[in-house]
Structure 1
Amino acid sequence: MDGFIFSLVMLVVIGLLQAFVPYWVKETIVFGVTVPDQQVYHPVVKASKKIYTLTLLGLLAIIIVGYVLWHLNSTVNDELLIIVGIILQFILIGISMLMYLILHNKITELKKVEEWGAELKQVKVTDWSVRARDEMLPIFYFLLPIFVVGGLIIYTYSQYPLLPENIATHWGPNGQPDAFTNKNRFSVIAIPLILLVMQIMFAGIIELTRRSGIKISVTRTKQSIRQQLAMRKYSSWFMFLMTMLITILFSILQLTTIHSDLVGESTMLTMFIVFIFITIIGSIAFAVKLSSLGDSKGDNYSTSGITDVDEDQYWIGGLIYFNRNDPSVFVEKRFGVGWTVNLARPIAIACIFGPIVLILLISIFA
């Protein structure tokens, strides 16, 4: 039952987040395509957003009904329920991406045929004083958990003789370990090392985001500044929340390896449930908060004869950003909530693949 509830909640959350993305991003970015202010209410633009949202909501309803009926009319364990739930989530995401690509090409072709913005002068705005108003959390917040993990590693080695000969490496849906490896000097700190890699990654993302450019709209100057500053602030808060949740979860798992009677089975299961729900609630709150800062709030400024610089040429499919002229490592996504990397910057490649490689190496050698 627990596995079914988790999967059902995740399906609903992912489905709703995907369905309403077109209404959460900037009005002047439609399915990854730059749209001048004069065309944001174009009939095709409005219809495309509506079709995308209603189709995904209908698909989500069908998947949920089918998943619930299958659960009620069959006797399967939680593990299979979770596996099927994950598969359904990927199917939903895959269909949403297919629809996105179709509509991206449709808007791109429409923009080309109707020559949107051809008569407008492209202008780029820079205001260095905006950085003084940046309220992102300082890097110090993200360094504290790293020191905690360092202390956890030291404590683990101090208790090495008391550790069991089989070290847990995986935990099942019930919160109990279901996979083990032999005890050695490396395997006993594998979990803290993985945690350390993730913490350093989070700290790096925050610092590189802080140094990235703040893009200001020439036609929506005040709104774009407010939106950009809020985006940076709330992103840092959300990242800190995730850092703390992961640190607490992994630390408890590590301590239960050292002291097997520290946490009971019911407490461990409750901990996993709390972790999942706080993550879900935090993600929803983050997305909703950012959606309330849309460009439609407030008045437009200096809209006559000018428009923002069209950067479509730097976005592959509206999803992948590659711009050698932009020193920023992280930029705001064109579709979805959050940030993506500028693949033209070598450090961006390191941010993506470095942690993955390190975690894989730790898992292999552990």
Structure 2
Amino acid sequence: MNTVLVGLVVNSGVLLALGATLYAAPSPLFNPHSVPFGIRVPPDKADAPEVAEQRRRYRALFLPATLMVTVAALVIGAVLDSVAVGGVAAVVLCVIAAALWLRAHRALARAKERGNWYAHVRQGAVMDTSLRTDPVRLPWAWTVPSLVVVVVTAVAGAIVYPRLPGVMALPARSANGTVYRELTTTVWTAFSLVFAQILLTAVVIGTVAAVLRARADLDVSRPRSSAARHRRHLALTARSLLGIAALLNLMLLGLSGMMWSDSRSGALLTLVIGVPLLAAVAVSVPLVRGGPGGGRATPESADGSDGSGGSDEGTGLVPRDDDRHWYAAGTVYVNADDPAILVPRRVGLGWTVNLGNLRILIVSAAVLAIAAGATVVSVTVG
């Protein structure tokens, strides 16, 4: 079995895995329960017949599309003797899923408007001020593994740098699998992955700090229990992200070692990349199981217990209908009147940025400028 055929088989498995993930996208596993397809609905409408019908139609159309695209990619790739078709097929699957999502989003928006779903409910908002006066602290102890790996990589690089050859090889992906790109040995190229470790660690720590200060999407019907759950979710998220950063830094340490030793072993490369990535996936499993905001991690009891021995009587309120601030089928948030930089996502897990906040635009521009400048310097010097 030649390399291209093996690559096509692997690509088919990746496409099926991607298809399975996108097939499950409308599930509350990946989205807030009362925001199906990015449309805010009252909690009692989250499982309405209209919502169930749109989920059924999305999956009924996407499943055969996944199978057809996967088979087509396998056949076309075999005819053209190229694995690059797999990347194109993955993009096609994402486009199909986005189109079906948008279709369902618009259908639910019309059903919500026709049924006037918010006519007879009391809307409200709730805020836990203790998240500002007594916020969840950044677990600095969990940054130590990343920092240790960075220091070990830098020290190892400093030791071997005087004995490095004039040209080094760095593994890179291509249309026909892994190739090795030769680089002139300089401080910038020899320590390029060390710089990547430093940038990765700084970005993850900054992201965790921002997430811990992000706006909480609390349940207005039971604010006390949802605030306690939010705190537990923040602590788990912070530890998980910092753990994943340490694993990715470990992967970069392995890649640096391969580059410095001029090792081009495919088995070793698979081990260096695969083991940390699999471990990172394992670390993220509790976050996925907990669902958006950790809502499924600590289910509330029937009597409203908040899990801390107290009770949380229902307020009778439902979250405010804020669809007007969300665009692109519920994936983009723009609200200039909202001071929050990060807000809980409507589609998928985690948080998204408020593009109406001027501060995030300035920070984004600065990060892009730094990344572009570093790339130019690396290419010029290398």
TM-score, scaled relative to structure 2: 0.79
| Contact 2:136–2:212 (8 Å) recurs in 1 | no
- Number of residue equivalences: 359
Q: Deviations over 1:38-71 (max 9, x none)?
A: 3223221111122123322332233334445566
Q: Distance in 1 between matches of 2:85 and 2:340?
A: 39
Q: Please list the CA deviations of residues 271-317 of structure 1 after superposition, one character each: whole Å capped at 9, or x if unmatched.
A: 3333444455555664344278449955586374x321222222223
From 51, 69, 72, the counterpart of 1:45? 51
Partner of 1:141: 142
- 1:132-191: CA deviations, max 9, x gaps? 998786144235424532453354244332112123344348996511222223222222
Asked whether 1:26 is paired with 2:32, we answer: yes
User: Which deviates more, 219-228 or 155-164?
Assistant: 219-228
The superposition leaves residues 234-293 of structure 1 with CA deviations (integer Å, 9 ceiling, x where unpaired) of: 4334423431221011111112222335x8442223333334444555556643442784
2:70 and 2:122 map into 1 onto residues whose CA distance is 48
Deviation at 1:205, TM superposition (A): 0.7
**Does the 8 Å contact 2:217/2:344 carry over to 1?**
no
Distance 1:144 1:296 in 2: 29
**Alignment map for 1:91-102 (pairs within 5 Å):** 91-102=92-103
Q: Any gaps of 5 or more consecutive residues in structure 2?
A: 305-312
Shift of 1:208: 0.5
| Conserved 8 A contact 2:168-2:260 | no
Distance 1:156 1:124 in 2: 53
- Greater RCO, CA 8 A, separation 6+: 1
Structure 1 residue 319 displacement after superposition: 0.9
Matched, 1:364 2:376: yes
The 5 Å alignment of 1:157-168 reads 157-168=158-169
Identify which of 328, 336, 339 aligns with 2:340: 328
Structure 1 counterpart of 2:350, from 328, 334, 338: 338
**Equivalent pair of 2:167/2:183 in contact (CA under 8 Å):** yes
Matching residue of 2:205:
203
- Paired residue secondary structure (1:119): coil
Separation (CA, whole Å) in 2 of partners of 1:332 and 1:216: 10
Given residue 270 of structure 1, which amino acid in structure 2 is its aligned partner? L
Equivalent in 235, 238, 259 of residue 236 of structure 1 = 238
Match of 1:187 among 186, 189, 208: 189
Amino acid in structure 1 at the alignment position of 2:336:
R
Write out aligned runs for 1:49-88 (5 A): 49-68=55-74, 76=81, 80-81=82-83, 83-88=84-89
Structure 1 residue identity aligned to 2:249: T
Is residue 27–residue 295 contact of structure 1 (8 Å, CA) maintained in 2?
A: no
TM-score (norm 1): 0.82
CA contact (8 A) 1:168 1:181 kept: yes
For residues 134 and 67 of structure 2, the distance between their equivalents in structure 1, rounded to whole angstroms, comes to 43
Question: What is the identity, as a one-letter code, of the residue corresponding to 1:124?
Answer: A
Shift of 1:346: 4.1
- Percentage identity across paired residues of the two chains: 18
Alpha-carbon spacing, 1:54–1:279, altered in 2? closer, same or farther (3 Å): farther
d(CA) in 2 for partners of 1:295 and 1:41? 20
CA distance 1:342–1:275, shift in 2 (3 Å): same
